[in-house]
Amino acid sequence: MIKLRDYQENLVNQINASTTARNCIQSSTGSGKTIIFSYLANNYKGRILILVNRTELLEQTAKNITRTKSLITAKTKTIGKGEVLIGMVETVNNRIKKGVFDIDNIDLIIVDEIQNLQFVKVFNEFKGRLLGFTATPVTMKTESYYKCKYCGEKHATESICCGKDTQKYTLKVSLKRWYGDLIQGVKISELIDLGFLTPVHNLSCDLPNLDKLQTDASGEYSKKSQDEVFNNLASTENLLANYEEHCLDKKTMVFNSNIEANDEAYKMFKMKGYNVRSYHSKSKESRKDVVEWFRDTPNGILMSVGVFTTGFDVDDVEAIILNKATQSLSLYHQMVGRGGRITDKIFKPFFLCVDLGGNLGRFGSWSDNVDWDTIYNNEKEKKTRIRELEDFIVCHNCDSLIESYDCEVCGAKEPTKRKAKSKIVIAEQVKEMPPPTPNSILRYSEAKGLNINDAKNLTANYILDMFIFANTSLENVKANKVYLTDKIKSFIKPIYFALHGSTLEGNRKRTIKDFEKKVFNKLNKYYENK
């Protein structure tokens, strides 16, 4: 029996109250999309088809369905008689084309990860109830056509109309075309406040030659320009240096721009002795084996290209490195969101996003609120005449194609450009790391069965992380020694009394001075080795 959280129940009520046949359901990363649509499926009176595009998503969904269910995969040759059918999109489409499966016998179709437009071919002619779920209701799909500037008639190819040449336009396609009205769920910032997602701390470490990136006809950065920026020794060394500076010994996912850049980075990390694995479309290793290795490896580094952006539920990821640039707000949210899961496996008060591709400047922080309604309902009805698509840019706020800022659709200003100062760019921290609190230290220590001394070590490591992520130099520490000393003592005092007043086992004869000494020794050792 699925028990819903308050915000999940509110979203279900909105869906059930909808009077339209089709709805797009925006449900943020970590909000429990699978739980929500599984609950709907379990309580719906009628036969249901749930469409997914990953084996992991199929398995996750099947576990939550309590009604009779049948799977439609490459291994199943017939269509089962379950009340709920869960199918891989390509397999379902093949069954329909072969006449094995009649989609008209379905009352409700639920689609997960609808930003992937491959699902459309299955239900394009479907007349029943349709619910599409996504964390990011936006697509990079564009369509080009030719339009007569005199009569307005559209043509598929360049032609003569009204005695004049037609002009080429592009249309930014909205998911609204297939999924009807938008229903929005809880925001990422709200989930963080509720304790259901982990806060992100951003480090912008842009490569110095990002200005060489050019968009292609799809609106995304071209392979050629990404190769020029990321497929070189300087870029690979920059990735390694930023890992060692910010993410050392943290469970880390690295999203690379292409297979060549990925393989070179993998070799360099391997030569340095780091615990690293790699996966992409040409990998010989089993995807499942790589994921299980990463799940079981505390300091593992997982490098990938074009995968693990959805349906990936390893919750103790501590760092995300974006070694690529994208114009897709959806892809950006998917990549960074892999670090947002909460966990009891480790002490994870935040996760780190190290951006090497200028994505923070384009989109802001993953946890910033996004006006999905404006983005979803803007099918770019104001068509943009194309000279060369490289002459246009994608608005960082509303994802519209524009010639220049201020954005003519949403009014957004041009984002501030960050300039590189050296090969390893000085990290710009977008949000400060909060100090440790007695409740967070005590709650984690009790859950993990730590003793008082373990909890004090945990506190010391956290305070050291505050200095590391704030990029506090030795000169800064010396210049503000008195202030910083007092500040650290103010963090330690309430934690000391909370630990000594708790039921944790350990030596209660240790004084607060001993605790302070432990913390300062940790800091001193770090700066001696700088």
pLDDT tens, residue by residue, 133-170 = 999 898 767 777 777 777 777 777 777 777 667 777 76
Q: What percent of the chain has pLDDT above 70?
A: 88
293 and 420 in one domain? yes
Closest alpha carbon to 369 in 162, 186, 124? 186
Q: Does the residue 191 lie in any domain?
A: no
Say which range, 87-91, 129-133, 296-300, 462-466, has the weakest mean pLDDT. 462-466
pLDDT (mean) for 247-264: 94
Alpha carbon distance 198, 343 (integer Å): 9
504 and 419 in one domain? no
Alpha carbon distance 364, 360 (integer Å): 5
158 and 34 in one domain? no
Q: Choose the final residue of a domain: 157, 186, 215.
A: 186
Query: 321 - beta bridge partners?
Result: 254, 354
Q: What is the pLDDT of residue 307?
A: 84
pLDDT 10s digits, 191-218: 999 999 999 999 888 777 888 888 876 6
Q: Which position has the token pair 């070179």?
A: 264
Residue 334 has pLDDT above 50, yes or no: yes
344 and 400 in one domain? no
The residue segments making up the domain with residue 256 are 196-371+415-429
484 and 423 in one domain? no
359 and 227 in one domain? yes
298 and 419 in one domain? yes
Q: Give buried/exposed letters for 403-417 (b at 16+ CB in 10 A, else e).
A: eeeebebbebeebee
Q: Does the residue 1 lie in any domain?
A: no
362 and 227 in one domain? yes
Alpha carbon distance 441, 401 (integer Å): 47
E-strand ranges in 67-153 read: 69-72, 84-88, 108-112, 129-134, 142-147
pLDDT (mean) for 41-69: 89
Q: Return the CATH number at 74.
A: 3.40.50.300
Number of folded domains that form the chain: 4
Q: Does the residue 296 lie in any domain?
A: yes
pLDDT 10s digits, 113-132: 888 777 888 887 788 899 99
Q: What is the pLDDT of residue 397?
A: 59
300 and 212 in one domain? yes
8 Å CB contact between 431 and 334? no
Give Cβ neighbours of residue 234 (< 8 Å, ≥ 6 apart): 423
Comparing 161 with 352, the larger pLDDT belongs to: 352
User: Would you place residue 433 in the very low, low, confident or very high pLDDT band (cuts 50, 70, 90)?
Assistant: low
What integer best gives the mean pLDDT of the chain? Answer: 83
396 and 353 in one domain? no
User: Would you place residue 64 in the very low, low, confident or very high pLDDT band (cuts 50, 70, 90)?
Assistant: very high
404 and 334 in one domain? no
271 and 222 in one domain? yes
Q: Does the residue 392 lie in any domain?
A: yes
Q: What is the pLDDT of residue 392?
A: 38
Long-range contacts formed by 218-221: CB under 8 A, 24+ apart: 218/140, 218/141, 218/142, 219/140, 219/142, 219/172, 219/327, 219/389, 219/394, 219/401, 220/140, 220/326, 220/327, 220/328, 221/325, 221/326, 221/327
pLDDT (mean) for 315-332: 92
